């Protein structure tokens, strides 16, 4: 049996995708966190792009979360993709959509002024409005079965848990199917186990350190 090591960062949503998939498949793995602000030499030598996640499979290294997820799907039991090729391709498309949502979230919490901040909030609302039309019957993306699309969006919603602690930005208002999906994912053991207990505190500190429009809002709320 191959030894699997997930090289990680405590806040990275792409690492969470891999950790969730590994847990859903019941695969034993070791997790090693690195400080991306002070990358150790061994990590620089292993990571072609200097990013996480990495999945070490014995002496081999796989990088990029999408590639890691596909490798796990091909080599481990308990499939998280649909069996039908067309449905599988459709799911892969929505996984990529999840990455686009993460890009907008990054733009939201790094925006330097109100105009950029509101533009990203609007873009996020538009993306979730489009997404709601793709959702199947609850609880998960495609209904009763947890899939890799769910693994990709669970870290997305974790950001909204952090945003909601600051104030209600209204991004997900009027989207009950999305809200139900978010709640179902939060209850999934694999999702809960993908981050440390102090994740929300770490993420809040990360937001504050950005010196962005969001961090200014956080300071006003705390005043």
Question: Could you give the CA distance from residue 219 to residue 223 in angstroms, rounded to a whole number?
Answer: 6
CA-to-CA dists, residue 194 to 6, 7, 31, 178, 216, angstroms: 12, 13, 10, 21, 29
Q: Is 12 a catalytic residue?
A: yes
Question: Could you give the CA distance from residue 150 to residue 190 in angstroms, rounded to a whole number?
Answer: 11
Q: Torsion over CA of 198, 204, 205 and 208, rounded to 10 degrees?
A: 180
From the list 7, 11, 12, 154, the catalytic residue is 12
Neighbours of 32 (CB within 10 A): 13
Question: Could you give the CA distance from residue 164 to residue 214 in angstroms, rounded to a whole number?
Answer: 12
127, 129, 135: which is closest to 104 by C-alpha? 127
Neighbours of 220 (CB within 10 A): 10
The residues annotated as belonging to the active site are 12
């Amino acid at each position: 049996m191959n030894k699997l090591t997930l090289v990680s960062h405590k806040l990275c949503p792409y690492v969470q995708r891999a950790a969730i998939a590994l847990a859903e498949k019941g695969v034993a793995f070791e997790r090693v966190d690195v400080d991306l602000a002070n990358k150790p030499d061994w990590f620089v030598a292993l990571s072609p792009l200097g990013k996480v996640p990495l999945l070490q499979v014995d002496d081999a290294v796989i990088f990029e979360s999408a590639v890691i997820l596909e490798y796990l799907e091909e080599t481990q039991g308990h499939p998280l993709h649909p069996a039908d090729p067309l449905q599988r391709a459709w799911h892969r498309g929505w996984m990529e959509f999840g990455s686009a949502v993460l890009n907008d979230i990054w733009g939201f919490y790094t925006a330097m002024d109100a105009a950029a901040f509101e533009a990203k909030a609007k873009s996020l609302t538009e993306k979730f409005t489009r997404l709601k039309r793709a959702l199947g019957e609850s609880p998960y993306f495609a209904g009763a079965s947890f899939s890799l699309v769910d693994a990709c969006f669970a870290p997305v919603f974790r950001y909204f848990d952090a945003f909601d602690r600051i104030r209600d930005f209204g991004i997900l208002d009027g989207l009950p199917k999305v809200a139900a999906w978010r709640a179902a994912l939060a209850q999934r053991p694999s999702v809960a186990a993908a981050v440390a207990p102090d994740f929300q505190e770490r993420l809040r500190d990360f937001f504050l350190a950005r010196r962005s429009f969001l961090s200014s809002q956080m300071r006003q709320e705390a005043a």
